[in-house]
Structure 1
Amino acid sequence: MSFCEPARVVSAVSLTPHMRRISIEAEGDWNWPAGGQGDERIDLAFPKPGETEADYEFFNHPDYGRADLGTEPPWRHYTVRKVHDGGRRLDIDFVVHPGGLAADWAMRAEPGHLLGVFWSESSRSHYQSPSGPRRQLLVADATGLPGLGRIVEELREGDVAHAIIEIEAEEDRQEFTTRGQVTYSWLVGSGLGSSPSALFDAVKTMDFPNLDADDTYAWVACESATSRRIRKHLREIRGMARDRHNVVGYWREGADGHVSGMNDEVTVDA
C-alpha cells in the first residue's frame, strides 16, 4: 500500500445550505478500514485551486518528510461520515464557508475529480463507543455534525442520548435514523466564526442529570477554546471521570491552515 492513495469523486450533493456531501471511491486495489465508528478521522490531499486532481504521488516520494521536495500540496483532516462496500466508497461531509481551501473545492467538486487519501490499516476515532454506558451527551458545532450524525445512526437499541448542535441557519438542521432514543437541542445562528458560540452555556444549563454516573458518556467536537471550557465544566462541575468523555477541538478561531478548516481536527482534550 502507498502512503497516499487515489480516490475519485462519484457524487457531490448539498445536504443543507452549509453542508455538502462528497462521495469518493477508491482507485486501485486499496480500501478504507471498514471497522470504524463515529468521529473517524481521515486525511485528504486536495487539488490546488483551479485544478481537479490532487498531486497525491507527492506524498509517496521516498524522501517525503526528509528532504525538500518543493511546495507541499494542500491536505486537511476530515471525518468519515459513512463507509460503503467494505471500504471501497466513503462519504465525507464538508461544511461550506467562504475562504476555506477544502470548502471552496467541495463547492466546485464534480464526479471525476481526484483526491488523495492518506491510508491507514486501522481507523482512528476520538469517539470511543462505550461498551457499558447507555446514556450519552453529544455536543457539536457544524464541524462536528458529520461525526455526530454517524454516532447517532450507530447507537444501539436502548441507548439514550441528548445532542446539542450549533448550526448557522434553521435550514441546516439534519434528520438521522437511529435505534437509540435521541433528543436534540439545535442552537441556530451563533458560533462558527461569526459570533460567540452558545455551546458552553447550553451545556452548563442543560437538564441532563447524573453525568457523573458510570452509565453516562460525553463526546464534544467544536472550536478549540469552546471545547476546553466544556471539558473543564464536565470534569470540575459535573464530576465526569476522564474515561467517560472525549472532547475534541476541531478548529481554532483566528488560525490559518489546518486549524482554520471548518471540519479540521486539531486538538484532543481527553
Structure 2
Amino acid sequence: MPANAEALSGAADHDHDHHDPYFEDYFLAETTSVVRLTPSMIRVVVKVDGGERLLPSGHPDEWVRLALSPDDATPVTIPVLMENGKWGRPDGSKHCPNRPYTIRRWDAERCEMVIDIVVHEGGVAAGWAMNAAVGDVVGICNPEGRFWMPKGSEWLLMLTDITGLPAVARVLEELADGFKVIVHVEVPSDADCQDIGTVADADIHWHACHGPRDERPGYTELSRIAGEISSLPDGPGYIYIAGEARAVSDCRKHFRDRLGFDKDRIDAIGYWIEGQARV
C-alpha cells in the first residue's frame, strides 16, 4: 500500500493482523534542507539515491534507521547485497551508528523524505541534526511500521510524547474525512505545539510538561495524562501509544485494566527508555 494521502482513507477497514514481509534494502541520501521547526524539533529533508526502489510499509507511523558517519573523517557507508544473497560490507567499511526515525512525509516522485528529529543533548542523531547542513550524506533502509487499525474501528485515540509527534501528525494528515480521533501530545513547551492539517474530526490536546522539571522526577508525565482519561468513546476503537517505554506500558495497563479496553486494539510502542541511549 502506498504511504500517501490516500493510505488511511479506509483506515477502519484495515486488517489489524495483516503485515507484508519486510524487504531489506539500503540507500544513501543527501540532505537538501534543514529547518528548526519548533524549539525542540528539527526538520531534515533528504533526497534518496535510488529511491525508486524504496518500498513504503503502508503504515503511517513507518520509520527508517538513519545511519550517520562514525567520525568526522569517515564517510557514511551502507551494506551491499553480496553474491551469496546476504547483506554485508565486503570492502571492510565501518558499521555506521544509526537511530530509528519516523518518515514524516515521503514523496515517491521526487524521492524526497522528510524526517523530524527531536532536539536533545547527547543524542547521536539529535547531535547530528543540530549541526546538519545541506549536502550532508546519511544512510537509510527500507521502512517498517506498526500503526494498523482493526477492521470496523469507529474512533482512534493517540497518546504520545514529543518523540511520537511526527507519527501522530502524519496519521492525522492521512485519516479519512470526518473520522473521529482524540489526540494527547506531551511537549516541552507551548512553543513546541504544531499546526497539523487534518480532515478528520480531531480533538487535539497539548500538554507542555515533557522534559526535566524541578518539581518532579523523570522526563515524562504520559502515564498521568493517560490516567486522567476516565472514559472512551462508544463503539469499537483503536488506541495508539508511543513514547518512553515504561510510561507507555503504564498507559496500556490503564486502558486495558482500569477502563477494560480490548488489549488487541492497543498498540503501545516504546520509542525510548529513560536513562538509556536510544538504539
How far 1:48 moved relative to its partner?
3.0
Distance 1:95 1:170 in 2: 15
| Amino-acid identity (%) | 29
Q: 2:232 aligns with which of 209, 214, 235?
A: 209
Runs (5+) with no aligned partner, structure 2: 1-22
Distance 2:240 2:132 in 1: 31
How far 1:66 moved relative to its partner?
9.8
Distance 1:192 1:34 in 2: 36
Q: 1:213-224 alignment to 2 at 5 Å?
A: 214-224=235-245
**Contact 1:165-1:186 within 8 A present in 2 as well:** yes
How far 1:255 moved relative to its partner?
1.1
Q: 1:14-53 alignment to 2 at 5 Å?
A: 14-28=36-50, 30-34=52-56, 36-50=58-72, 53=75
How far 1:196 moved relative to its partner?
4.4
Runs (5+) with no aligned partner, structure 1: 259-270
**Contact 1:45-1:117 within 8 A present in 2 as well:** yes
Equivalent residue, structure 1, for 2:271:
250
Equivalent residue, structure 2, for 1:132:
152
Tell me: CA distance 1:219–1:175, structure 2 relative to 1, closer, same or farther (3 Å): same
Instruction: Tell me the C-alpha RMSD between the 2 structures.
Output: 2.7
Question: Are positions 1:189 and 2:214 aligned together?
Answer: no
**Structure 2 letter corresponding to 1:5:** F
- Give the TM-score normalised by structure 2: 0.80
Question: Are positions 1:162 and 2:162 aligned together?
Answer: no
Distance 2:73 2:174 in 1: 36
Distance 1:244 1:96 in 2: 31
**Contact 2:240-2:268 within 8 A present in 1 as well:** yes
- The superposition leaves residues 220-246 of structure 1 with CA deviations (integer Å, 9 ceiling, x where unpaired) of 000000011011111111222133110
Tell me: CA distance 1:51–1:234, structure 2 relative to 1, closer, same or farther (3 Å): farther
- Give the TM-score normalised by structure 1: 0.83
Equivalent residue, structure 1, for 2:161:
141
Q: 2:247 aligns with which of 220, 226, 246?
A: 226
How far 1:118 moved relative to its partner?
1.5
- The superposition leaves residues 149-200 of structure 1 with CA deviations (integer Å, 9 ceiling, x where unpaired) of 0011111112111111111111100011101111122111334797342211
Which is worse superposed, 31-40 or 190-199?
190-199
